[in-house]
Copies of this chain bind each other. A is one copy, B any other.
Amino acid sequence: MTITPAQQAEIDAQRGETAATRRPTVAALEAVLYQALPVLDRGFIRVIDYMGDDAAVVQAARVSYGKGTRRVSEDRGLIHYLMRHRHSTPFEMCEIKFHVKLPIFVARQWIRHRTANVNEYSARYSILDNEFYVPAPEHLAAQSQANRQGRGAVLAGAEAERVLQLLREDAARAYDHYAEMLNEREDGTPVSSDRQGLARELARMNLSLAFYTQWYWKVDLHNLLHFLSLRADDHAQYEIRAYAEVMLDLVRRWVPLTHEAFEQHKLNAVTFSAGALAAVKRMLAGETVTQETSGLGKREWTELMAALGRDGN
């Protein structure tokens, strides 16, 4: 993670200011507010603001005049009930805003989640920093042979070295040439007085998808959980999952009851198709079921066996 001293001073200044509010507050989240939590080699996530807490979910579900909460056990039961039965609107009543620094190829996956608000650093308007992602050696994975959209074993030896060299050299050269084409010093004066400098909105196209961008991203709790159910999942690319895991931990700080219900009923839940359910019922009745007799496709059968912790053969 790279935060300059000036940036850190800005962050510290904001952390230093407190005010009184009548709004609900969450001490565990206030404790990390504005702090840059590192992700990948140079990225971060910062919580900038939040609205609501577990009680706000309950309050909205009950359309109450006050907090609407009763005993903890009742509130907890209600939140689990809402989560299990897909009553999603009360979770939309909480909102959170992040400042995220992330590689562009991660940003391209992330932005596909449309129900959120975004302000991205503009490379039309400003000059991007010389910062790009290079995977740690343990994340330098080979293409999976089993799954076209997945990773296999970690690369090693000469192949790994060569890949890292290419990634580093190409990115460094791309940035050098970006800077050369811009012909512009940090203070806006030209490097070479006999050149005009290419427009920023054009020069940026020489940068690769490994470069870091940053944005403010604001989302309601329901849509955040939906994002996390897809991106904190094993099928997600490691690099976006790294962000999702930090956010999942922030959700735990923010709305612990909702976090618990989410883990129970979404993240660690499984959905069985009509056919898979039928197979489970037959197994429970003592029958020996195989892929062939289950009527399921090979892939779904494998997934079912994995979910049940069984050897499918």
Residues of A within 8 A of B (CB): 3, 7, 10-11, 13-15, 17-25, 30, 33-34, 48-52, 56, 59-61, 63-67, 77, 80-81, 84-86, 89-90, 92-93, 95, 97, 99, 103-105, 108, 111-112, 114-115, 117-122, 124-126, 133, 135, 140-144, 148-153, 155, 159, 163, 166-167, 170-171, 173-174, 177, 180-182, 184, 195-202, 204-210, 214-216, 218, 220, 230, 235, 237, 263-265, 268-277, 280-281, 283-284, 297, 299-300, 307-310
Q: Are A199 and B66 in contact (CB under 8 A)?
A: no
Provide the bound-state CA to CA distance between A99 and B63, in Å: 8
Shortest CB distance A79–B (Å): 12
Q: Are B105 and A108 in contact (CB under 8 A)?
A: no
Q: What residues of chain B lie closer than 8 Å to A17, measured between beta carbons?
A: 22
Q: Are B274 and A272 in contact (CB under 8 A)?
A: no
Q: What residues of chain B lie closer than 8 Å to A281, measured between beta carbons?
A: 308-309
Q: Are B216 and A120 in contact (CB under 8 A)?
A: no
3 A-B pairs with least C-beta separation:
A10-B66, A268-B274, A142-B196
> At the interface, is chain A mostly helix, strand, loop or mixed?
mixed
12 contacts between A and B (CB under 8 A): A18-B21, A61-B119, A86-B230, A92-B218, A143-B196, A166-B206, A206-B208, A208-B208, A269-B273, A269-B276, A280-B280, A281-B308
Known: A170-B174, A173-B173. 14 other contacts (CB 8 A): A19-B25, A20-B25, A63-B214, A77-B297, A93-B216, A95-B95, A142-B196, A143-B196, A159-B195, A166-B180, A166-B206, A170-B206, A174-B208, A208-B209
Q: A196-B142, A205-B133, A271-B270 are contacts. A13–B66 as well, Cβ < 8 Å? A: yes
